Structure 1
């Protein structure tokens, strides 16, 4: 493939991260696990992320999301507990840091009748939504001054299966927030007007459970499904505007259930994580697969661009969180390195909105905050 297609990508990113330097030397690995395991040692220019805080629960922790303001984050668990924690100051972080428990500002037990599978904040941070295997979505107002949920919550009952993911869109025409929700059951994606708490649209198309939703601003969002497809939706046209099947078996047309996905801030590159341990880069504007790579040895359940989009953070059922460098030619092998590990499956990984730190949640019953000590 002609690498000139991607000059916008490498040119846009340059060679620095938010710390002002490359995190690790871009010596391409072969994207298999022996390469990754061998690259965790120190002294070779690799990133040394430190576990800053550990939140412990009695059951698997499924989801965690930073508030858009970056000063706190929310955590949802299989124990039905919702917590909001303070984001700590990291200026004095050292490599010999002793992990501690985060400050919990808000805690609600039995928030749902079932496990909390997903949660999301609105872009301005005044709304929060949670989804559960009790088949309901809860929509709540949030006061960032008091770090508390306020007023009556709205319970949405239009789904007939587990809600697997949520995201908020801003409807610029009437300045209101829209909540997008999807999951198991009828495989429909529902659009709810947050001002009225009323679902007003059901988007059909997927033939398998919806496992992942993502928006990068505007009226567009994408959905990933167990049916192995990614669908692009535009609420201005009230429907699906494109459908792709990311190819995970080179030389074939075969795909794998899409467990996670994200789009870079420019809306040009889609990355999908799959149940067969593959990740696929897809050029949206060119309408083509760029490459398939395997930074994990099991399901890739979470995938996110770093705030500057220089790096990709993926989390997998192999208990690992992997950082992949996207600063070179995206058609060549991509350097990847394991930056964090749990005792059990990693379910989600989320970047801080502006700092080079991330949250991870796991079946090992913890949510952990990771960061790089100042150089």
Structure 2
């Protein structure tokens, strides 16, 4: 057979070249491997890598800070133990000297501090004994003079036993070197003192709990302004400047993960506010909650099933009511389960009392003419639920009577130095006593007597503005948050700080916006301007 003619071959080659110049089928595998696509992919991966790197470095720095803090705390405890051992030995020696002087005055004979009494010696007469009550009082006086009485009473039982040589070496290591030949004093004076110390320790041991970070809640996109716990479940509700509320079930994470500082995902997100959400209050029995926003509305919500699937569609039916009346941002909310009333304070200057279960919800309005300035926080008085306490931006704190709808008293707004305090950021009511506690912009915390209106105690509590307060239901602790990035735990009875926790980072010169105690479970929560919420156990 003859091959194709030269003209036919040329035509075929031209057709092939024309076909190769046509655009490729988008279904081909090489369609995405263009140079711009490759560069875009590399840039995206690089930015993702850099973001992960920065996040890892931040977490590494946070862990290093925690390790350094724990190491310093451990070293401080060891130094305190050594100092206590030295001081106890000094006190024992001083007590022996006093006994020797007393013996010399009573009998006219001097006995060395280490001298033993003969084993055959008869039981001494009561008239020749040193009063052990006086000896204990003398020891307590020495302890007070060196400033260690409270410290010793606050020590845990095992540590006190170890320092006093009353524990076995197997349990707590070898005891400090002490004269082993010294017999127990007559009447068991030291033993009785030790028993009294241990009894006080047992009563106060639960107060010395150290709180440690457990969960980190990261799903908000802007600063978290408010927190509140479910009354009985390990469930937290948070409100943010991103316009949403989020519900967190801590039990799910606790059962699935074991490492510290866990990330937890929200089980539900509430959306209805047209701006930042600034305040929260939990309703009775945890079936409902309320939120106040920058849009001036107070909204009521139904708490969904705590085992809801987080990937279910949003249910608009969770929004139960809208309480309208305020004309500006709602800064604070408080709910009274006994009265079934909701209190709110707003930037419009008014404090409103609501009945959220009624068709005409607004019951009363206080400070209509802004005669006391702009309210910043409101709380029901625990010792008398028919009263509310309100703080104002001019530094005043007022008590209102819900029955007469009149102000009862203006609580003293001056410290002992006569200087007027600045803006009050938050007010809480003592769990059982007629006392109001206020947090101030000038770094102070004040305790106010609701009966007399006088300042009971005023203290500089933080290095920056004190922004929030919370008390535990038992009336043991007060917790405070500040823009100095720390959360501090205080004993309510003696107003001393027992723990400081660095919880959040600063953002736009703000740090911690709210703190909360769980009503029935051992949880503490803090909310920060860094869009994080931290849970401590």
1:161 matched to 2:328: yes
Q: 1:228 matched to which residue of 2?
A: 395
1:188 matched to 2:350: yes
Q: 2:242 matched to which residue of 1?
A: 79
- Give CA deviations for 1:251-279 in whole Å, capped at 9, x if unaligned: 11412211111111213221110011110
Shift of 1:214: 1.2
* SS across alignment from 2:262: coil
Shift of 1:131: 0.6
When you count helix as a share of all residues, which structure comes out higher?
Answer: 2
Matched-pair contact (CA < 8 Å) for 1:54–1:99: no
Tell me the number of residue pairs that the alignment of Structure 1 and Structure 2 aligns: 324
Q: Aligned match of 1:341 in 484, 489, 503?
A: 503
TM-score by length of 2: 0.55
Q: CA RMSD in A?
A: 2.9
Matched-pair contact (CA < 8 Å) for 1:170–1:219: no
1:260 matched to 2:426: yes
Which runs of structure 2 are paired with 1:1-375 in the superposition (5 Å)?
20-23=205-208, 47-88=210-251, 97-109=259-271, 111-143=272-304, 150=317, 152-170=319-337, 172=339, 177-185=340-348, 187-197=349-359, 198-204=361-367, 206-217=371-382, 218-248=385-415, 250-328=416-494, 334-344=496-506, 345-371=511-537
Matched-pair contact (CA < 8 Å) for 1:310–1:325: yes
Give the distance between the partners of 2:247 and 2:316, measured in 1 at CA.
Answer: 10
C-alpha spacing 1:67/1:21, structure 2 compared with 1 (3 Å): closer
Shift of 1:73: 1.4
Give the distance between the partners of 2:358 and 2:445, measured in 1 at CA.
Answer: 38
C-alpha spacing 1:326/1:90, structure 2 compared with 1 (3 Å): farther
The answer for unaligned runs of 5 or more in structure 1 is: 1-13, 25-46
Bigger relative CO (Cα 8 Å, ≥ 6 apart)? 1
Greater C-alpha radius of gyration: 2
Matched-pair contact (CA < 8 Å) for 1:229–1:246: yes
Give the distance between the partners of 1:129 and 1:276, measured in 2 at CA.
Answer: 30
Matched-pair contact (CA < 8 Å) for 1:181–1:191: yes
Give the distance between the partners of 1:262 and 1:134, measured in 2 at CA.
Answer: 25
Give the distance between the partners of 2:470 and 2:482, measured in 1 at CA.
Answer: 12
Matched-pair contact (CA < 8 Å) for 1:63–1:117: yes
- Give CA deviations for 1:47-80 in whole Å, capped at 9, x if unaligned: 3522323334211111110012233111111101
The answer for unaligned runs of 5 or more in structure 2 is: 1-198, 309-314
345-354 or 98-107, larger mean C-alpha shift: 98-107
C-alpha spacing 1:291/1:264, structure 2 compared with 1 (3 Å): same
Matched-pair contact (CA < 8 Å) for 1:206–1:227: no
* SS across alignment from 1:88: helix
Shift of 1:357: 2.0
When you count strand as a share of all residues, which structure comes out higher?
Answer: 1
Q: 1:7 matched to which residue of 2?
A: none
Give the distance between the partners of 2:333 and 2:201, measured in 1 at CA.
Answer: 32
Give the distance between the partners of 2:485 and 2:215, measured in 1 at CA.
Answer: 18
